[in-house]
Structure 1
Amino acid sequence: MNKPETVRPPVACIFFIGGNPKFKESFPVSESPLGSDNHLPAGGSCHGCLVECDCKKESAYLKTQGEGPIKVSYIFPNGDRYEGECSRSASGVLMRSGTGKHTSAGGIIYTGEWHEDKMHGRGTMQHPSGALYEGEFKDNMYQGTGTYTFPDGSSYKGPFHKNRLEGDGAFTDTQGLVWIGEFHGKAALGLKMQHNI
């Protein structure tokens, strides 16, 4: 049985909000818990501006803007792109929050819910290999109920825990046969074939 592809969070740095650039400003980028700069720039919302976040000072203009979800289009230094909602944390850092689409430079596409700059809630992740995960995420990992379709067309439907198949689920092989039972990571001893009568 194939192993699901690991979820890797993106890293951060050019920020577009709205239409044409009206000014250019600089912002510090906060450190993520994963050790990479993957937060949006500090501050609030602005309309029609380009912000480079690899810089040293904050804009008073952005600090004074309104609260609540902000729709953004953000390009990271590695070529990744995020389009969707973000909000300000208690420390003033803009983070992906709400719904959005993240496309990595390598072709991985996540569309779904975000919380505190992490994939969290319902979503879909498409891999360039053809693998597809549809289901629940928590802290940038497959977590909860979901369906993982492998590049060869086989699939697993059931619970996930920290990116691993975990619990009672169903594996459908490439010939359409459904195998049900208990999965623990790569192990699935005692699976039973489901018969349709």
Structure 2
Amino acid sequence: MAMRRPKYFTPIEVSLHSTIGDLWVSYLGKVYNLTPLVEEYKGNVLLKPIIECAGKDISHWFDPKTKDIRTHIDPLSGCVKYYTPRGRFVHVPPPCPRTDWANDFGRPWWRDSRYEVGLLSTKTRWIRIINTLTSQEQRLEVCSEETLDEILQRYLRYNSHAASYTWKHNGVNLDMSETLSENGIPDEDEEFYQCRMDRDLYTPSICLYFNDDLTEP
């Protein structure tokens, strides 16, 4: 049985989940839904740094090698301490031994895969999808890692029959199992930037042609 492919999210999509009742963050390339954690520790002052960063990327909290919270040497005590510039947060032990700190929570939240909902795109792209049947055009921000099938899923909210169309670029049928780049649609953002050209004027377009064949199942 094939493993299910992780879902990719844009930074803007993550930023939309920025309330106590719907709190996402991203770090080290992954996206996490911490809403259950916030509910579990509701009212705990140690949630404050997490709530302040709702919808944001907090990779700077972590050591990319160990994937644990960054540490530093306290200049006064010479002891290793967690680096938490926004203040100590849930599952980070206190700087000094205390009898009122419960450490029986098991795996700390930043190592708990239960909160993981997908991957953060390393590079997003803008495309134009043109429905040749209706002449409607939709501009979409997509993840460069996504296949055309996954981009189709994004587009369904604008056209629920999107799967009934043939997707083409420059007259060539697109392979829906491949990414934009794999289909020969290069990401030229860097070139446009270096040439001081407005990338919005050169957004690649994908044309949709309705499959008017009623004999297909």
Q: Which TM-score tier does this pair reach, normalised by the shorter chain?
A: under 0.3
Rg (Cα) greater in structure: 2
Say which structure is richer in helix: 2
Superposition TM-score, scaled by structure 2 size: 0.22
Superposition TM-score, scaled by structure 1 size: 0.24
